[in-house]
Amino acid sequence: MQRHSNPTPLFSFIIPTSLETSVVDAVYSILRSSTFREDVEIVVVVNNAPHIFFAELENEFRRYKEVVSFVLEGASTIGKARNAGIERAKGRYLIHIDADCIIGKHYIENLRQRVAEDFSVANGKVCFKNERNCILGESNRALRELAYFSRKSVAYTPNLIIRSDVQSKFLFDGSIFHGEDTELSVRLSRSGLDHFYFEDLVITHIDNDNSIQIFNKYLYYGVTRTYRFKKWRKSESTLEFYFRLFDEIPDIREKRFFTKLGIMALYILRDIGVLYGLFKWRRLESPSVVSQ
């Protein structure tokens, strides 16, 4: 592949990974796009992983080294890893995807057409696919699908596009381990930026987490939820604050019985994380609340 003729590509895909071999498929899905051109670069941030994993990835894509670059981060949070990718990226638009995502065949082509709208922040469609043949895995897939499709204005990172000049003002919070995208979403919303949703920008998110990984994620989601709610607390009574903190259970009446049970179990895990977060972030308060 030839060296970029344009030192400033139009799109930079940023993919953080931590020992997820699925990142290889994610990168190839971009490279094999039917409309891949030299106005696209890919930045892979290897976070909290041994150097040999980093070296193996570099070796896998050595023939694409002009468009695929790698950043090795130490033991850091996902937010810090994403920020490291932002610092390396040169594109006008930064596309955040996860290591277990596959972009659609016409994703880049459709994104090029969307650029004419000169948007600042946008999300594309995410289709969730569960590869774990278990109730908890299917419940996780169903719950994430409900969350993504019902909250299209949230800056979810599996398919988040941000113009680089906006991104430079809104980096990810590096102090939290999960939910860095929802925390960023609050700041983007408060800034008054329009948030677009493009149905034709499709990414498939392949869930392959085992039960322990799912447990840990939802516990951390709860901890981060407390962080976000305390940091950006509204001028509300304590009772209203706690009600809002434990609320947001989606409508699951149409789901199958065992899927419902699994979803409720995941919410219990989240709420355990919320309780731990109330202790962990007990001294964190929104400036607007403290000043009252």
Q: How confident is the model at residue 112 (pLDDT cuts 50, 70, 90)?
A: very high
Instruction: Count CB atoms within 10 A of the CB of residue 179.
Output: 23
**125-134 burial by CB neighbour count: b if 16+ within 10 A, else e?**
bbebebebee
Position 20 in a domain:
yes
Whether 274 has a pLDDT exceeding 80, the answer reads yes
Last residue of a domain, one of 209, 243, 273: 209
Q: Give the whole-angstrom CA distance, residue 83 versus residue 75.
A: 14
Same domain (yes/no): 130, 237: no
- Output the average pLDDT for the chain: 89
State the total domains in the chain: 2
Same domain (yes/no): 196, 237: no
**Cα separations (Å) of 237 from 36, 227, 243?**
52, 18, 10
Contact at 8 Å (CB) between 166 and 121? yes
Q: Which two tokens stand for residue 276?
A: 């731990």
Q: What is the pTM of this model?
A: 0.90
Same domain (yes/no): 126, 109: yes
Same domain (yes/no): 253, 192: no
Q: Which two tokens stand for residue 127?
A: 């289709």
Mean pLDDT of 157-168: 96
Lowest mean pLDDT, pick from 40-54, 124-138, 225-239 = 124-138
Q: Give the whole-angstrom CA distance, residue 216 versus residue 209.
A: 10
Structural domain that includes position 55: 11-209
Same domain (yes/no): 163, 252: no
Beta strands in the chain (DSSP E): 11-17, 40-47, 68-73, 93-96, 101-103, 121-130, 160-163, 195-207
Q: How confident is the model at residue 286 (pLDDT cuts 50, 70, 90)?
A: low
Same domain (yes/no): 57, 181: yes
Whether 285 has a pLDDT exceeding 80, the answer reads no
Contact at 8 Å (CB) between 90 and 41? yes
Q: How confident is the model at residue 153 (pLDDT cuts 50, 70, 90)?
A: confident
Whether 217 has a pLDDT exceeding 80, the answer reads yes
Same domain (yes/no): 199, 239: no
Position 271 in a domain:
yes
Give the domain CATH number at 141.
3.90.550.10
Q: How confident is the model at residue 109 (pLDDT cuts 50, 70, 90)?
A: very high
Whether 180 has a pLDDT exceeding 70, the answer reads yes
Q: Look up residue 35 and give its amino acid.
A: T
Question: Which one, of 26, 10, 27, 219, lies nearest residue 116 by Cα?
Answer: 10
Same domain (yes/no): 158, 235: no
